[in-house]
Amino acid sequence: MTGHHRARRLALQALCALDVQGTKARERVDYFIDDSKEPPQTIAFARQLLAKAVEHLAPCDQFLSRHARHWEMSRLALVDRNILRLAVGEILSGRTPMKVAITEALRLAKEFSTAESPRFINGVLDAVAKDILKETSRDAGDTGDKANAEEERHKKAKQNGDRGI
């Protein structure tokens, strides 16, 4: 298991705790990550992932509400909801390739959720990724070429000073 995957596991657990306990638990969540016995670079990456997911929570939930058809956010399973938020936060940051964010979300779903969850999560994230690419292409005046849209996302992230995840 790679350090990045372990960081995603920590970030997922932290997101779930914040989802249940609210922002008042942030200090305890930070302690949980720091106390994880992971190497410093894994802890730093977990903190970045968590920060991006929390920072992008509202847009994440908007994308997810739009694409998790027939499901209200509050009715999604806690783990699935937060796997989706973590992945969309990574995608929106523009620093993680979409395929990597989706693949990692599927790994987390296989580890932490039900047998049906990976299929559901894959479908939702695929639709979200297409939507984000479409928006990026439209913003850039692009023809809709996926590679150009993905490259444009990375450029925007760098211009905005996002060190990325």
Q: Alpha-carbon distance 128 to 59, whole Å?
A: 11
| Predicted local distance difference test score (pLDDT) of residue 164 | 46
Looking at residue 154, what is its pLDDT?
57
Counting Cβ atoms within 10 Å, is residue 72 exposed (0-12), middle (13-18) or buried (19+)? Answer: exposed
Residues 107-145 have pLDDT tens digits of 999 999 999 999 999 999 999 999 988 887 777 665 555
For residues 53 and 17, the answer to whether their CB atoms sit within 8 Å is no
The CATH class of the 3-159 domain is mainly alpha
pLDDT at 122: 96
Give exposure, 56-67, as e/b (b: 16+ Cβ within 10 Å). bbeebbebbeeb
Q: Which two tokens stand for residue 25?
A: 């638990």
pLDDT of residue 149: 58
pLDDT at residue 104, as a whole number: 97
Question: For 43-80, what is each residue's pLDDT tens digit?
Answer: 999 999 999 999 999 999 999 989 887 788 888 999 99
**Would you list the domain boundaries of the chain?**
3-159
